[in-house]
Amino acid sequence: MENAVKILVPVKRVLDANVAVRVKPDGTGVDLTNLRMSMNPFDEIAVEEAARLKEAGIVQTVTAVSIGPAQATDTLRAALAMGADDAILVKADGPVEPLAVAKILKALVETHQPDLVIMGKQAIDGDSGQVAQMLSALLGWPQATFASKVEMNGSIVRVTREVDGGLETIEMDLPAVISTDLRLNNPRRASLPSVMQAKKKPLEEIDAASLGVALEPTLRIASTLPPPGRKPGSRVESVSELIDKLKNEARVI
Amino acid sequence: MTTLILAEHDNAALLGATARAVLAALEIGAPIHVLVAGHNATGIAQSAAKLEGVEKVLLIDHESLAHGAPEPVSEAVVAVAAAYSHLGAPATTYGKSIMPRVAALLGVMQVSEITKVLSAHSFERPVYAGAAIETVEATADKIVFTVRASAFDAVGEGGSAPVETVEFTPTMRTSRFVGRESAGGGGPDLASAKIVVSGGRALGSAEQFNAIIQPLAEKLGAAIGASRAAVDAGYAPNDWQVGQTGKVVAPDLYIAVGISGAIQHLAGMKNSKVIVAIDKDPDAPIFAVADYGLVADIFEAVPELTKAL
């Protein structure tokens, strides 16, 4: 029984964190044409944590799931190469809001019966930070957000969380939901053999529409614009000039 | 239309981000109630009652709420939600853990980390680590939101709202509190400080970080921040991290010492009123957002600055 724990890891395909963001001139969104897409960095941390728990013999299977276009298959293959056993692509074109994502994940939890869901604390495109909490609430499971340490002991999971002002440790009975913070681990780089192996691992595709979740956005994005620029600054030559400027020009000290 | 703001507190005191969320609520234009969910939290409710613009304080006092566990706290918010058109909280780790649960339980989306209120239904919020600003329109009959505290000032403390106690018993399965470890420091709170002095990887070690950054921060009465590189290298504790994955600050004065200015760091501080950068690399991206840039060896310039102040 101890070894029968199943983990579900949702992963999102997002604009690569190292690519400069270009806002479309007409204000309709961010231009993603021909730009490099990658797995959301917080999700990589979630996959890594799940893979480590499996390698430690604590977890039996790790299933990665992504909701999005056909290209999200690449993101799932990356998760499989990092150590996930199988993957599910929930096909959906166009953006899916966090609440709809949480409802889709809830449907998958009900069919696949994982004991633990581990996912990133936020996606670096929408910066919403909602899905883990929403899923936990919809399932009636306890949650541990912003995890920097996860220890499993039988059906109890102890999580250290990064909170304002320090760290908090909580315990949860499985099943439960965890969202990962940056310092939980350093995700591995998949080796070439594991990338090749990942191509043979099972990847199931299902249609988001088949899960009975409404996908139409409920929030309307009226515009997406670049942030207001700062007025150009100046160089100072010395510490005394800096102090003079801060006192007499900016008047902040 | 009435707005409910969930108060953030640590069961000892009301925390400053609450007063900032109340200002955002004032801009929505509806009457404002504040909910204090805690245990033995009467004193906190009384503090909340003093916030200007607050019409009524609801107090839900139950032992399950003693450590701010998001499961019972979100249930407590939902228990009173029927009376409100808008439900908000500061976008701190407390608010961020609770409000998406509230939204899901009410069957609506959350508008996360608003930085501007355009109308009762229209808000601005940053996406892509602040590289773009979205205007979001919410049309549901309940609007759940979190407030980026650094984008709003705090309301004053001249109010005297009545406090009403609400009975509540949680039913949801919940996490259990084990312990808390504070990061220490003792200086002003990073998220609300008027001046922030931040150090980066160029400081080279925890010893040098303390030796260079701390005296300057002390002299200025400033909070201490750090870049992710400095935190990852172990020079500074986690919760000093300023950036997309750390805290977002907007003080009157932000002094970046030995910080190159990666996008992820800029996302956390570029709305500061005045930015000073001190770094020896004249091409560091931080100089592009700095109002005053000093190209210098930080190990000489910063002690000189501390001494001259």
Model pLDDT for residues A83-140, shown as the tens digit of each residue: 999 999 999 998 999 999 999 999 999 999 999 999 999 999 999 999 999 999 999 9
Q: Which residues, including other chains, have CB under 8 Å from residue A118's CB and lie 6 or more apart?
A: A7, A8, A9, A46, A49, A50, A150, A177, A178, A179, A180
**CATH number, domain with residue B119:** 3.40.50.620
| pLDDT surpassing 90 at residue B70 | yes
Q: In terms of CA atoms, which chain A residue is nearest residue B279?
A: A235
Q: How far apart are CA B20 and CA A180, in angstroms?
A: 27
Across A65-96, b (16+ Cβ under 10 Å) vs e yields bbbbeeebbebbbbbbbbbbbbbbbbbbeeeb
Residues B136 and B51 in one domain: yes
B176 domain residue, yes or no: no
pLDDT of residue A231: 87
Residues B51 and B110 in one domain: yes
pLDDT band at A1 (very low <50, low <70, confident <90, very high): very low
CA diameter of chain B:
61
Shortest distance between the Cα of B192 and any Cα of chain A, in A, equals 12
Residues B161 and B258 in one domain: no
Q: Do A168 and B179 touch (CB under 8 A)?
A: yes
Q: Are B169 and B31 in contact (CB under 8 A)?
A: no
Instruction: Give the Cα-Cα-Cα angle A67, A72, A73 (nearest 5 degrees).
Output: 115
Closest CB to A130: pick one of B112, B274, B289: B112
| pLDDT surpassing 80 at residue B206 | yes
Q: Do B93 and A126 touch (CB under 8 A)?
A: no
| pLDDT surpassing 80 at residue B158 | yes
pLDDT band at B264 (very low <50, low <70, confident <90, very high): confident
Q: Do B253 and A246 touch (CB under 8 A)?
A: yes
Q: Are A147 and A178 in contact (CB under 8 A)?
A: yes
Q: Are B274 and B290 in contact (CB under 8 A)?
A: no
More confident residue, A38 or B245: A38
| pLDDT surpassing 70 at residue B120 | yes
B172 domain residue, yes or no: no
Which of the residue ranges A229-233, B35-39, B121-125 would you say has the lowest mean pLDDT? A229-233
B180 domain residue, yes or no: no
pLDDT of residue A6: 98
Q: Do A224 and B127 touch (CB under 8 A)?
A: yes
Q: Do A133 and B97 touch (CB under 8 A)?
A: yes
Q: How far apart are CA B82 and CA B66, in angstroms?
A: 24
**CATH number, domain with residue B274:** 3.40.50.1220
More confident residue, B11 or B94: B94
B170 domain residue, yes or no: no
Query: What pTM did the predictor assign?
Result: 0.94
Q: How far apart are CA A201 and CA A7, in angstroms?
A: 16
Shortest distance between the Cα of A207 and any Cα of chain B, in A, equals 22
pLDDT band at A18 (very low <50, low <70, confident <90, very high): confident
Residues B151 and B271 in one domain: no
B38 domain residue, yes or no: yes
Query: Considering B111, B143, B165, which residue would you say is the last residue of a domain?
Result: B165
B204 domain residue, yes or no: yes
| pLDDT surpassing 50 at residue B269 | yes
ipTM (interface pTM): 0.95
Which of the residue ranges A33-37, A228-232, B41-45, B231-235 would you say has the lowest mean pLDDT? A228-232
Instruction: Give the Cα-Cα-Cα angle A83, A87, A89 (nearest 5 degrees).
Output: 145
B153 DSSP 8-state letter: P
- Find the helix or strand (DSSP H, E) in which A171 lies: strand A166-173
Q: How far apart are CA B3 and CA B25, in angstroms?
A: 7
- The average confidence (pLDDT) of chain B is 95
Strand partners, B247: B242
B179 domain residue, yes or no: no
- The average confidence (pLDDT) of chain A is 95
| pLDDT surpassing 90 at residue B251 | yes
Residues B105 and B204 in one domain: no
Residues B148 and B227 in one domain: no
Residues B117 and B215 in one domain: no
Q: Do A127 and B113 touch (CB under 8 A)?
A: yes
Closest CB to A129: pick one of B96, B108, B270: B96
Helix axes B70-80, B93-106, angle to 10 degrees: 50
Q: How far apart are CA B152 and CA B250, in angstroms?
A: 9
B229 domain residue, yes or no: yes
pLDDT band at B103 (very low <50, low <70, confident <90, very high): very high
Q: In terms of CA atoms, which chain B residue is nearest residue A217?
A: B109
Q: In terms of CA atoms, which chain A residue is nearest residue B8?
A: A164
Q: How far apart are CA A203 and CA A223, in angstroms?
A: 36
Residues B15 and B138 in one domain: yes
Residues B109 and B247 in one domain: no
User: Per-residue pLDDT averaged across B96-118, rounded?
Assistant: 98
Q: B81: exposed, middle or buried (C-beta count within 10 Å: 0-12, 13-18, 19+)?
A: middle
Q: Which residues, including other chains, have CB under 8 Å from residue B246's CB and lie 6 or more apart?
A: B228, B231, B238, B239, B240, B268
pLDDT band at B145 (very low <50, low <70, confident <90, very high): very high
pLDDT of residue B184: 65
pLDDT of residue B185: 62
pLDDT band at B245 (very low <50, low <70, confident <90, very high): confident
Number of compact structural domains in chain B: 2
Residues B24 and B152 in one domain: yes
Q: In terms of CA atoms, which chain B residue is nearest residue A144?
A: B175
Q: Do B293 and A182 touch (CB under 8 A)?
A: no
Chain B interface, best mutation among A141, A160, A170, A238, by max B CB count within 10 A: A170
Q: Do A239 and B127 touch (CB under 8 A)?
A: no
pLDDT of residue B263: 87
- Which residues constitute the domain of residue B92? 3-165
Strand partners, A105: none
| pLDDT surpassing 70 at residue B36 | yes
Residues B151 and B232 in one domain: no
With pLDDT > 70 as the criterion, what percentage of chain B qualifies? 99
Instruction: Indicate the residue type of B194.
Output: K
Q: How far is CA B222 from CA B185, B187, B238, B239, B291, in A?
A: 11, 7, 18, 15, 18
User: Per-residue pLDDT averaged across B285-292, rounded?
Assistant: 96
Q: How far apart are CA B277 and CA B291, in angstroms?
A: 8
Q: Are B70 and B97 in contact (CB under 8 A)?
A: yes
pLDDT band at B239 (very low <50, low <70, confident <90, very high): confident
Q: How far apart are CA B278 and CA B281, in angstroms?
A: 9
Residues B11 and B155 in one domain: yes
